[in-house]
């Protein structure tokens, strides 16, 4: 089994009522709970909107990220799957995909040799 990182972008959460927000969170908990029951859930966390960027060999620190809302990484999930195709299939159940601008980026986590 390999581990895969799902990066979540987009979703129209800013304009949700408290009731819509609560219903949306229940969908996320149900999806992640299903992955946990299958033994595929490793971990997940939302991210705040604030951040800093450190760039280049001069290590210049700037505020950010300043990108369009649909491009901001809002959270991540790590799961296990037997193949990249299986991980992509798992990602298709993500509630963020109910939004037109919802994106799940799927990346395999490369295993480094033991040090």
Query: What does pTM read for this prediction?
Result: 0.86
Instruction: Please tell me the predicted confidence (pLDDT) of residue 66.
Output: 60
Tokens of 50: 């604030």
Task: Convert the pLDDT of each residue in 22-54 to its tens digit.
Answer: 999 999 999 999 999 999 999 999 888 788 888
Q: What's the pLDDT score for residue 91?
A: 97
In DSSP terms, 61 is beta-bridged to 54
Tell me, what's the pLDDT at 71?
Answer: 67
Please count the structural domains in the chain.
1
Q: Decide if 23 is inside a domain.
A: yes
Residue 65, pLDDT score: 62
Q: What range does the domain containing 69 cover?
A: 2-108
Q: Give the per-residue pLDDT at 57.
A: 92
* Rounded Cα–Cα distance for residues 9 and 99 (Å): 10
Ranges under pLDDT 50 in the chain = none
CATH number, domain with residue 48:
3.30.70.1060
Residue 87 domain flag: yes
115 occurs within a structural domain: no
- For 21, the token pair is 């927000």
Q: Does residue 113 lie in a domain region?
A: no
What confidence score (pLDDT) does residue 95 get?
Answer: 95
Kindly report the number of other CB atoms within 10 A of residue 72's CB atom.
Answer: 17
114 domain-assigned: no
Q: d(Cα 46, Cα 42) in Å, to the nearest integer?
A: 14
Residue listed under structure tokens 């939004």: 99
């Amino acid at each position: 089994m390999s581990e895969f990182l799902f990066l979540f972008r987009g979703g129209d959460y800013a304009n949700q009522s408290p009731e819509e927000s609560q219903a949306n969170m229940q969908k996320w908990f149900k999806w992640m709970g299903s992955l946990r029951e299958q033994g595929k859930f490793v971990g997940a966390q939302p991210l705040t909107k604030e951040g800093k960027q450190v760039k280049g060999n001069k290590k210049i620190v700037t505020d950010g990220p300043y990108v369009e809302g649909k491009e901001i990484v809002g959270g991540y999930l790590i799961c296990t799957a037997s193949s990249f195709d299986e991980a992509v299939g798992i990602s298709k159940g993500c509630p963020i995909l109910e939004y037109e601008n919802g994106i799940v980026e799927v990346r395999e986590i490369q295993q480094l040799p033991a040090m």
